[in-house]
Structure 1
């Protein structure tokens, strides 16, 4: 039995909220995936339709950060191919390994990342990026491949992990968010094409929720740039808890 159109009455506002928080600190999928499941869609349609939403939201956020100069193009353009390769590898590995095996481990890791961000009071508040140094590339190249694999394999919190990576090499959290959204848009685009070919997207749900997700992402990105890294930092902490809870319980 397919969902009735009434599901959009709660699907659209939740998609807006997901777009807002994803543009600020990542983790929007922790809202949209359960929402689509609650509508009664089968898992294959949930995953495919969620990528339709994600391409709207991450694309909108990327545009906002890009046009305001909060994306480090020279670095990000080098990382996108690795993100796409990692995503493809992760999608391949999911057929051989039970994702539930890693859920608790990833939840512990992301809570540790969140604690490190919060306990270090200056972390991510100042921009200390030194350019395409050996250290920058030594951290971001392998980390992007791993993050891409995680996105293809499991998914929740991909943008949150990417933000931490960019903050680790010296970006403030606003620029880290802009860079992370851009890389995440690339992985979403790759997955979108894959799922588009598979024909599992529920367009009458995905398009209006995608538009709401894009609007939320626009508002979220502008809010992050307006309020600065301190605002993003506390939003980041909330999203870490949301993602960890989603991994453990769901």
Structure 2
């Protein structure tokens, strides 16, 4: 078990992860390797990461909610499908090796990122039409499929959710706010599961969670202050980082 000195680098990295995750998703690409580097077992890493992630996702969701960037009527319809999909994805792990799909998902997320960046107007303006048949046709199956991916493999879930909400007509600030709300709920479900399992290292997860929440607060405020163009380029960078992690299998 590591000593308290690991928090000297764990806390600033948790802050950075919270900032990035609140803007464009992908904070786990920082926190998971950090927890592994601390010397925790794989089970402890996954469980403790959910403990700190719940702080960050809650903080970011609260910031976006306060400024009206969370569409509650849509979120409550998508949340059950995302949770069911996540549980189903976790079940599939027992039958299919997720590593066999890493390269494919890496290619998909690069394609998504390219589509967002090449289309200069994509995600910069808010065209959300409300709960129309088109909106539900895009988001209901999308939430279920991304939920399966989250339970099955995981990296880039927030990035895929942002793309889904942008397709539904939100600008990237609104897409980020709604994605964080879904992430908070799925993190909460996973937190309860891992809490029962007893693998969380609380003396690491709690202070890192507070640092993650502080970073998420700053990141969400920055995203709303700077607007969708800022979010778009951070999003592009996160796509590259997540794809690299998938290709390298880390």
User: TM-score if structure 1 supplies the norm length?
Assistant: 0.99
Alignment of 1:219 with 2:223, yes or no, is no
Is the partner of 1:96 in helix, strand or coil? coil
Instruction: After superposing the two structures, state which structure 1 stretch, 88-97 or 105-114, moved more.
Output: 88-97
Aligned to 2:239: 240
Say what the alpha-carbon RMSD is for the aligned residues: 0.6
Other-structure match for 2:83:
84
Using structure 2 for the length normalisation, give the TM-score: 0.99
How far, CA to CA, are the matches of 2:239 and 2:134 in structure 1?
A: 26
In structure 1, runs of 5+ residues without a counterpart are none
Q: CA offsets, 1:184-220, max 9 Å, x none? A: 1111011000000000000000000000000000000
Query: Number of matched residues?
Result: 249
Aligned to 1:72: 71
Mapped partners of 1:47, 1:66: distance in 2: 27
1:49 & 1:248 partners in 2: Cα distance? Answer: 24
Of stretches 145-154 and 15-24 in structure 1, the one that deviates more from structure 2 is 145-154
| Partner in structure 2 of residue 24 of structure 1 | 23
Q: Give the whole-Å Cα distance in 2 for the aligned partners of 1:79 and 1:188.
A: 15
Verify: 1:51 aligned to 2:56, yes or no: no
* Mapping 1:169-188, distance limit 5 Å: 169-188=168-187
- Aligned residue in 1 for 2:193: 194
SS at match of 1:82: helix
2:18 and 2:162 mapped to 1: Cα distance?
16
Worse-superposed segment, 218-227 or 150-159: 150-159
TM-aligned CA deviation for residue 92 of structure 1: 1.2
Aligned equivalent of 2:126: 127
- Superposed CA deviations along residues 90-145 of structure 1, whole A, max 9, x for unmatched, are 11111211110011111000000000000000000000011111111011001100
